Amino acid sequence: MKLMILIFSLLIFIGCEEEKVKPAISSINVKEIPAQESWNSKVIFSDSGITKAILNTGHLRVFSESRETLLDQNIKVDFYNKEEVKTTTLTAKNGKVDDASQNLWAYDSVVVVNDSGVVIRTEELMWRNLDKKIVSDKYVKITSPVETIEGIGFESDQSLRNYVIYKITYITRRDSIL
CA gap 62, 108 in Å, rounded: 20
- In eight-state DSSP terms, residue 17 is S
Evaluate if residue 96 carries a pLDDT over 90: yes
What is the pLDDT at residue 113? 96
Evaluate if residue 9 carries a pLDDT over 80: no
Q: Are 43 and 55 in contact (CB under 8 A)?
A: yes
Which tens digits make up the pLDDT trace of 21-66? 666 666 666 667 889 999 999 989 888 899 988 999 999 999 998 9
Evaluate if residue 2 carries a pLDDT over 60: yes
The radius of gyration of the chain's CA atoms, rounded to the nearest angstrom, is 29
Which tens digits make up the pLDDT trace of 126-167? 999 899 899 999 999 999 999 999 999 999 998 899 999 999
Which residue would you say has higher pLDDT here, 98 or 174?
98
CA gap 134, 119 in Å, rounded: 13
What is the pLDDT at residue 158? 86
CA gap 102, 127 in Å, rounded: 9
What is the pLDDT at residue 28? 65
pTM equals: 0.77
Which tens digits make up the pLDDT trace of 60-83? 999 998 999 999 999 999 999 989
Residue ranges in the chain assigned as alpha helix (H):
2-15, 174-177
Q: Are 125 and 139 in contact (CB under 8 A)?
A: no
What is the pLDDT at residue 11? 58
